[in-house]
Amino acid sequence: MAADINTPTPESGTSSQTDDGGYDKKCIFCKIVKGEMGTELLHNDETISCFRDIHPGAPHHYLVVPSKHVGNCKSLRKEHVSLVEKMVEMGKEMLQKNNVTDLNDVRFGFHWPPFCSVTHLHLHVLAPVSQMGFMSRLVYRLNSYWFITADQLLQRLNSMS
C-alpha cells in the first residue's frame, strides 16, 4: 500500500520491550502468528499457534509456538512448565488430526541456544522419525548439545527452584 510510505512509525524509544501484548516486530514468528507472512496457521488462539516448518525434516513437521513472544528454551523458568505442556499437547493433537497414530515414532523438541535460527520459542514436532533423512536426524538429534527433547526440557524446568 503506497499510503503506508508516508506514515510515520511511532517509535517512543523509551522501551525496548515488546509492545502490543508480546509482539516483537523484528521476529518472524511473531509476524507469522499475526498472519503477516501469509503462512497457513493450522492453529491460532491467544496462547498457542501452530504452522508447518518451511524446511520439513520429516513427512510431518510442525512448529508449535506461544502466540506471544517468549524467548528461547534456555531462558525459560519453572513458571513456563504449563506453557510447554500445552505446546506438547497441541503437537500431539496436530499429529492425530493428520492421521499420525504411532506416537512412539515421533520427536518433540527444541534447539538449544545458540543453535536456534529464530529466538521465539518453538517446539519442533516431527513424524515419523523412521522416515527422517540423515541430515534431519543430525539436526534433531537426541542427546546432542544442540537439541533437547520436550521431556528433557520439562525435567529441567521442574528441577528449578
- The residues annotated as belonging to the active site are 122
Residue 116 CB, nearest distance to Zn ion (Å)?
5
Interface residues for Zn ion in 20-79 (CB under 5 A)? 24, 27, 29-30, 69
Q: Please give the single-letter amino acid code of residue 22.
A: G
- Give 27 or 129: the residue with its C-beta nearer to Zn ion: 27
Angle between helices 150-158 and 81-97 (to 10 degrees): 160
Distance from chain centroid for Cα 20:
20
Residue 2 CB, nearest distance to Zn ion (Å)?
28
Number of residues that bind Zn ion (CB under 5 A): 7
Ranges of H-type helices in the chain: 28-33, 81-97, 134-139, 150-158
Residue 140 CB, nearest distance to Zn ion (Å)?
9
Beta strands in the chain (DSSP E): 41-44, 48-52, 60-66, 107-111, 123-127, 147-149
Interface residues for Zn ion in 97-136 (CB under 5 A)? 111, 120
Q: Roughly how many angstroms between the first and final C-alpha of the chain, as a whole number?
A: 51
- Give 95 or 121: the residue with its C-beta nearer to Zn ion: 121
- Give 99 or 117: the residue with its C-beta nearer to Zn ion: 117
Nearest to 120 by CA among 68, 82, 84: 68
Comparing every residue's Cβ against Zn ion, the nearest one is: 27
- Give 30 or 132: the residue with its C-beta nearer to Zn ion: 30
Residue 159 CB, nearest distance to Zn ion (Å)?
23
Q: Interface with Zn ion by CB under 5 A: which residues?
A: 24, 27, 29-30, 69, 111, 120
